[in-house]
Amino acid sequence: MIEITKVTNPSQLKQFVTFPFTLYKDCPYWVPPLIKDEMETLDSEKNPVFTNAEAEYFLAHKNGKIAGRIAVIINHLEINEQGKKKVRFGWFDVVDDIEVTKALLEKVYEKGREHTLEYAEGPVGFSNMEKAGILVEGYEEMNTMITWYHYPYYKEHFMQLGFDTQATWVEYKLSIPPSIKEKVAKFSKIVRERYGLSVIRFKNKKEILPYVDEMFDLLNKTYNTLQTFVPIQQYQIDYYKEKYFGFIHPDYITCIKDKEGKLIAFSIVMPSFTKALKKANGKLFPLGWYHLWQAQRKNDRAAFYLIGIDPEYQGKGVTAIIFEEMQYLFNSKGIETVETNPELEENTAVQLLWKDYDPQLHKRRSTFRKSL
């Protein structure tokens, strides 16, 4: 018998957050999140996203054991301002039992109908700044700190239950050459001189903070035409600033300004925390912090996390400046491999950026949709 219970207290929320640690305990490719971060993200009193969103969390029990989890999310900005009549679901994990999956998804349908919405889509987070998509290719690759890992049967469950693929993201692995490519350096110089652009370099995190709001403004401008886009609100910017900027080393941020001093492009790269998070196993103490610190200090792998370019400068070669700066950084840090952030499959403009770095498409993930 399958029993679905709503999460109503901190103890149940802890069970909700830690269920994947049991489900994937023998999986060498699953990289756990930090439990404390997950608890705060899902807490309506701590995460400001709940200013314009609501969520309910459910656990599935079978034979007395937890067999699955799901978050049912309503994003009111998306519904009321963008006209997307969608109920979201995320934080979806389940044993290989389609009846458990079916029972969990019924809670999504109920919430959608309650709000007279038209369709359900997931797995996604509260907005496009969170993890999204079921892994559909690349099951023998470890996930990064901003993606989920899933077993192959997840996709099969959705297909059997009548879902259609909604959005698909691709991820690439790039090989970093031992020195800057001559054509990149040459083109970078031409673009800088033609448009009067210059690079902003940071010595510490404090110097970065004045530019964070402008970076998120560029993100809104860069991605506002993509199908998954939901505008990033100021309260979210403040929250992400506090939550993630502790992980970012100033060396790994490239900002470009025009001759008036306006920020027109940026990129954020981080050393890969994948192996460090695997060792930490969800906890900063007693040794999790040490593994993360070591990953920042010495690493041969990095990950592209965010890149934003003012639409006025897109297609004008600004990426050559970014890559020149990143190349020098990677070579000085001994980084040989870089993973890209998930990119929507149709976002070919971004994918063209990697063509000179022997790109290998090594992971693909999708969201699934069903009419209510």
For residue range 283-292, what is the model confidence (pLDDT) as tens digits?
A: 999 999 999 9
Choice between 348 and 358, residue whose per-residue pLDDT is larger: 358
Choice between 93 and 226, residue whose per-residue pLDDT is larger: 93
Q: What is the dihedral of CA 227, 233, 235, 237, to 10 degrees?
A: 70
pLDDT score for 226: 60
pLDDT score for 228: 61
- The answer on pLDDT for 301 being more than 80 is yes
Sequence-ordered strand ranges (E) for the chain: 2-6, 53-62, 65-75, 86-94, 119-122, 134-137, 164-175, 198-200, 253-257, 263-271, 301-309, 337-339, 343-344, 360-371
pLDDT score for 236: 78
Reference 30, options 276, 270, 273, 278; nearest CA is: 278
- The answer on pLDDT for 78 being more than 80 is yes
pLDDT score for 17: 98
Kindly calculate the radius of gyration of the chain based on its CA atoms and give it in whole angstroms.
Answer: 21
Q: What percent of the chain has a predicted confidence (pLDDT) above 90?
A: 66
CB neighbours (10 Å) of residue 36? 14
- The answer on pLDDT for 348 being more than 90 is no
Q: How confident is the model at residue 330 (pLDDT cuts 50, 70, 90)?
A: very high
pLDDT digits (tens, 9 = 90+) for 188-240: 999 999 999 999 998 888 888 888 888 888 887 776 666 666 777 887 778 77
CB neighbours (10 Å) of residue 76? 12
Distance set, CA 63 to CA 2, 22, 234 (Å): 8, 16, 45
- The answer on pLDDT for 328 being more than 80 is yes
Task: Give the burial string for 276-310 (b: 16+ CB within 10 Å, else e).
Answer: bbbebebeeeeebeebbeebeeebebbbbbbbbbb
Tokens coding 267: 């990129």
- The answer on pLDDT for 365 being more than 90 is yes
- The answer on pLDDT for 247 being more than 80 is no
When pLDDT is averaged across residues 267-275 and rounded to a whole number, the result is: 92
When pLDDT is averaged across residues 47-62 and rounded to a whole number, the result is: 95
Residue with structure tokens 């992980």? 247
Sorted by where each starts, the structural domains of the chain and their CATH numbers stand as 2-171 (3.40.630.30), 177-335 (3.40.630.30)
pLDDT score for 205: 82
Q: pTM of this prediction?
A: 0.92
